[in-house]
C-alpha cells in the first residue's frame, strides 16, 4: 500500500530528455516542478496519466491534469504564453476525465518551430512535496512508453 509507484507515460511521439536540459531556467531549475522534457515529432499531445483536466490555459499552451495523488502541468513549448496564433488546439476542457493516452491537444508543429524559441514541452509534477522522480527512458519514444517513475 505504501510507497506505491506512479508512472508517467510519454505525452506523444518525440524525444525525451532530462528536465535539466530545458532552455528555460524556470523549468530546468525545477521551480515549477520536476518531471521530464518532451520534444514533439508530430502534432498530437496525449495525457501522460489518467485523471481530470483541472486547467486549460486561456492561451491553450498549458494543461493541468490531476490524478489521484499528483498534479501535473504539461507546458507545450517555451515562451508559448505569448503565442498570438491558434497553433495549439485543445480537445479537452476543464472538468473532463481523461485516461492515459487520450488525446488532449493537437499542435501545428511546423509553425510552432518557427514561432517559439523552442518546442520543448516540460511535463512536470507540481506537488511532489519531497517525493523523488526517476527518468526511465530518454531519446526517441512513442506514445505508450513509460517515461517517469514517482516514488
Residues in contact with another protein by the rule CB under 8 A:
24, 26, 31-33, 54-55, 57-59, 62, 64, 66, 71, 73, 75, 81-82, 94, 126-127
Compute the least distance from the CB of residue 77 to another protein, in Å: 11
Compute the least distance from the CB of residue 124 to another protein, in Å: 9
Q: Which one, 74 or 141, has the nearer CB to another protein?
A: 74
Per-residue 3-state assignment (H helix, E strand, C coil) for the chain: CCCCCEEEECCCCEEEEEHHHCCCHHHHCCCCCEEEEEEECCCEEECCCCEEEEEECCCCCEEEEECCCCEEEEECCECHHHCCCCCEEECCCCCCEECCCCEEEEECHHHHHHHCCECCEEEEECCCCCCCEEECCCEEECCCCEEEEEC
Nearest to 6 by CA among 115, 93, 142, 128: 128
Q: Which one, 81 or 140, has the nearer CB to another protein?
A: 81
75 catalytically annotated: yes
Q: Which one, 76 or 143, has the nearer CB to another protein?
A: 76
- Measure the CA–CA gap between 22 and 33, rounded to whole angstroms: 13
Compute the least distance from the CB of residue 74 to another protein, in Å: 11
Q: Which one, 71 or 96, has the nearer CB to another protein?
A: 71
Compute the least distance from the CB of residue 133 to another protein, in Å: 16
Which one is catalytic: 75, 77, 119, 133? 75
Instruction: Please give the positions annotated as active site.
Output: 75
Amino acid at each position: 500500500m505504501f510507497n506505491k509507484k506512479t508512472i508517467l507515460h510519454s505525452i506523444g511521439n518525440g524525444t525525451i530528455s532530462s528536465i535539466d536540459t530545458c532552455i528555460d531556467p524556470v523549468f530546468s531549475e525545477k521551480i515549477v516542478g520536476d518531471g521530464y522534457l518532451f520534444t514533439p515529432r508530430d502534432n498530437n499531445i496525449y495525457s501522460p496519466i489518467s485523471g481530470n483536466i483541472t486547467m486549460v490555459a486561456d492561451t491553450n499552451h498549458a494543461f493541468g491534469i490531476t490524478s489521484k495523488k499528483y498534479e501535473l502541468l504539461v507546458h507545450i513549448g517555451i515562451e508559448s504564453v505569448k503565442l498570438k496564433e491558434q497553433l495549439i488546439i485543445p480537445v479537452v476542457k476543464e472538468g473532463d476525465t481523461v485516461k492515459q493516452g487520450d488525446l488532449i491537444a493537437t499542435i501545428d508543429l511546423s509553425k510552432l518551430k518557427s514561432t517559439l524559441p523552442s518546442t520543448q514541452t516540460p511535463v512536470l509534477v507540481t506537488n511532489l512535496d519531497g517525493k523523488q522522480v526517476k527518468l526511465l527512458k530518454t531519446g526517441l519514444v512513442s506514445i505508450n512508453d513509460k517515461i517517469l517513475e514517482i516514488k
